[in-house]
Amino acid sequence: MAQPSTTYKFELNLTDLDRGVYESVKQTIARHPSETEERMAVRLLAYALWYNENLSFGRGLSDVDEPALWEKSLDDRVLHWIEVGQPDADRLTWCSRRTERTSLLAYGSLRVWETKVVGAVKNLKNLHIAAVPQEVLEVLAKDMPRSIKWDVMISEGTVFVTDDRGQHEVQLQWLLGERG
């Protein structure tokens, strides 16, 4: 019998000075049994980074035809497809053909992946790729509580996450494109 997903309560107080977005949002999110805490933390970072009122969590690991997050229009067109992790070039090409904008928040040991994949997809005009520093991700993801409260401030491209353990500076490295 398959293990059930674990539910988390996520409270985000967002101050995005770069885009002029100021929101307080509460979400219930599911963590797939095979999903690591790091991957879930990256999904939460992506949610804060590209937040808008139509952005929602996809089924991700449970359904390969859905992203980690996506923004849909009122007529159900996918406007922004957001992946996390280290997908291959074929997956990124497939995703970019289904939407106006595709973003990837990559994490983990990226040296080999970056050499192999980023060069292969650099001609995709609607693709933007950022890398999350592994050290800060490990701190954010460690022993994640079931009720997560993040105060996130984004200023000049730097993401500051404040939680129960203090403030964490996330300096994203843009490998392709920009946040937009």
**Location of structure tokens 């996330």:** 170
* pLDDT band for position 59 (cuts 50, 70, 90): confident
Q: How many other C-beta atoms are found inside a 10 Å radius of the C-beta of residue 123?
A: 8
Query: Under a CB-based contact definition with an 8 Å cutoff, are residues 171 and 158 in contact?
Result: yes
Residue 158 has pLDDT above 80, yes or no: yes
Share of the chain above pLDDT 90, in %: 86
Residue 2 has pLDDT above 70, yes or no: no
- pTM for the predicted model, two decimal places: 0.94
Q: Say which range, 29-33, 62-66, 121-125, 170-174, has the weakest mean pLDDT.
A: 62-66
Alpha helices, DSSP H only, in 26-88? 37-49
Residue 139 has pLDDT above 80, yes or no: yes
